Amino acid sequence: MNLLKYIYHNTWLGKLLIYVYHTSANRLIPEKLFVKIKFKRINGIFPDIKNPKTLNEKIIWLKLNDRTALHTQCADKYAVRDYVSEKIGDQYLVPLLYHTANPKEIVPDKLPDIPFIIKTNHDSGSVFIVHDKLKIDWQDLQKKLKKRLKHNYYWRSKEWQYKNIKPRIVVEKLLMDEAGNIPFDYKLHCINGKVNMIQVDMGRGSQNHCRNWYSPKWEREPYKWTVALGNGRFTDPSDKEVAKPNNLEKMIELSESLAAPFCYVRVDWYDVNDKLFFGELTFHHDGGNRPIEPKEWDLLLGKKLKLPSNHK
């Protein structure tokens, strides 16, 4: 067993198996069966999709049934900028420095001499932070971007909104506070157009990643909704309190404007010295797969989410 794990995680054969799994096997599995299997692998039980009651089950129902062109636009990290500009104004957008569909155009001569972030618009996790252009292997970066542009995230997640996004590379200014630190990431979960939960991520990208949960009144919530970090660790809440943002009310107001057309959506924000910048819209937090603990809170939060009347 240990030998198989080593081959899977550390050899070219293991990488090939992963590639085949994500590009071939996933395509053969129907969406409904795919999401049910993935849920069971993480939670130990199959979700009740016919009569969903918990928040996670309802998110999965939405993943399989709630599909519009607006979902595709808002999942597109480039096209969503137009939606945000129309709904709340372009003053909340992170400054756009460059965009292209051709990775060969990502060269230092076309990019500014300030810290920036390079990402693809059509998937999750393809992010490259550049503090100093002179320290980047641009050919290697172009190869990585070329590979990501060929990847359709839908086949990995079976989240429909990603399926028809036209891949593009987006370069935005890297947001930092006065001390040069990446700002806190505030994620406001909107249920039927109203903010119900606020997630604050700290230490992202490290083994110290914590995730605190607050009510819209900035009261600490008694539940957690974590992801695995590896080595048996999770993004559990921190013992340290996060100060209530000075612009919390504005953050809530703007989030609810953006969330109005959707049953459930997570609206992400960065707060840089009391100035708000929009991050992204996420329709299925962690795919609806990660358990909310204690378990009764998955049911309590699920009761708040009203699905369309024709959901049965």
Is the pLDDT at 50 greater than 60, yes or no? yes
Band (pLDDT 50/70/90 cuts) for residue 157 is confident
Cα angle 35-51-29, degrees, rounded to a multiple of 5:
20
CA atoms within 13 A on the CB side of 215: 6
For 235-263, the pLDDT digits (tens) are 999 999 999 999 999 999 999 999 999 99
- Three-state secondary structure readout of 26-49: HHHCCHHHHHHHHHHHHHCCCCCC
Residues 93, 268: Cα–Cα separation, whole Å: 12
The residues spanned by each domain of the chain are: 94-176
Pair of tokens at residue 58: 């309802």
pTM exceeds cut of 0.95: no
Q: What is the mean pLDDT of residues 127-142?
A: 94
What ranges in 135-190 are assigned the alpha helix state H?
A: 138-149, 154-157
Tell me the C-alpha to C-alpha distance, in Å, between residue 192 and each of 46, 49, 178, 263, 302.
Answer: 25, 19, 36, 5, 12
- In the beta sheet, which residues pair with residue 35? none
Residues 26, 297: Cα–Cα separation, whole Å: 31
